[in-house]
Each structure stands twice: as C-alpha cells, then as structure tokens.
Amino acid sequence: MNDRQRQAFTAAMGEARLAYRQRRWEQAFALLERAHVLGQKRVVPHVQSHWWMLKVGLQRRDAGEVRGQLLRLPAAILMSRLWVPLGNTGGANVSPLQPMPIADDLRELMEID
C-alpha cells in the first residue's frame, strides 16, 4: 500500500468510526466500503474493514450483513495477500468473489497489479 493509499484508507476508517459513533449507519457503511476497496490487498486493513462492517450490521440488526461478514472475516485473514476481487466493496450485498469497477478517485491512489 503506498502512502497516499494508506492515508486515504486511514481517513475513510476514521470518518466511518465517527459516523458509527454518531449512529449514522448508512454513511458509516459507505465509508467502510471505500476503505475496503483501498485496503483489501493487506491483511490488517482488510480485516479491519470487515470487522467494522460486522459492527454496523449488528447495529442495524441486519442478519444478512452479519452472516456475510462472519464468513468474510476468516476469508480476509486467509486470502488478502493471495487473491482478492479488485474493487469489491465487501458488503454482504455483493458476491465476495466478484471484481467490481473501481471509482476513479480510488484508482488514482491504488497500486493495481
């Protein structure tokens, strides 16, 4: 992860935590999706984004999201350095294997192999 990507990940996670504390679940989740795209190729950031998505799912009482994140957490631990579907936003509303288009502002920050 390059410095700009790391800074963007840290900023997205910080904003997501703030939105979480303010009980703005939708905003928190959108920021976590952004963080997920930025951090998914590194174990700790990848796991961190899924952990917080799980927390938001629990707060929203969204059983599908909770179940999805409980499955994604171990996968993030095991697969982050091996293979990830680039651009995947990480929520349970998308296939965990589906690559997705990366927003232009994020693409500029990322080291894409």
Give the pLDDT confidence score for residue 93 in this predicted structure.
95
Phi, psi of 76 (to 5 degrees): -65, -40
For 23, half-sphere exposure in the C-beta direction (CA atoms, 13 angstrom radius) is: 2
pLDDT at 31: 98
Q: Would you give the end-to-end CA distance of the chain in angstroms?
A: 11
Whole-number Å distance between alpha carbons of 43 and 32: 15
The answer to whether residue 105 is domain-embedded is no
Number of domains in the chain: 1
pLDDT at 28 over 90: yes
pLDDT in tens, 39-96: 999 999 999 999 999 999 999 999 999 999 999 999 999 998 889 999 999 999 999 9
CA-to-CA distance for 79 and 107, rounded, in angstroms?
21
Segment 33-41 shows an average pLDDT of 96
CA 66 to each of CA 2, 58, 96, 101: distance values in angstroms, whole numbers, following the listed order = 31, 6, 14, 24
Q: Is 103 part of any domain?
A: no
Report the predicted TM-score, pTM, of the whole model to 2 decimal places: 0.93
- 110 found inside a domain: no
Specify the pLDDT at position 112.
65
Residue 73 included in any domain: yes
- Domain span holding position 49: 3-96
Residue 112 in any domain: the answer is no
State residue 7's pLDDT score: 96
